[in-house]
Amino acid sequence: MKLHLPSGLQRGLAFLIQDDWTPAQACAVVELLDDLREVICSHYQLQIQQYLQDDRTEVTSSTDFTLDDEDLF
């Protein structure tokens, strides 16, 4: 099963999770990650938004979107 991560990464370090976690253990990890995200965003939200906007603008403006007739069918 291939996961589609929010970052878009398809290669790199694998995240291995034990398959015998209890629901309480899984929930604790999710809560930890939520708290970490909240702390980071409370400090860096504006910078993150600007970075993402700049990064997406670069990708969009540097990509040539041309369609051949074959692409339409």
Convert the pLDDT of each residue in 4-56 to its tens digit.
778 888 888 777 888 999 999 999 999 999 999 999 999 999 999 999 999 88
Quote the CA–CA distance of 25 and 64 in Å, as a whole number: 47
* Contacts of residue 5, Cβ cutoff 8 Å, sequence gap at least 6: none
pLDDT at 65: 57
pLDDT at 60: 61
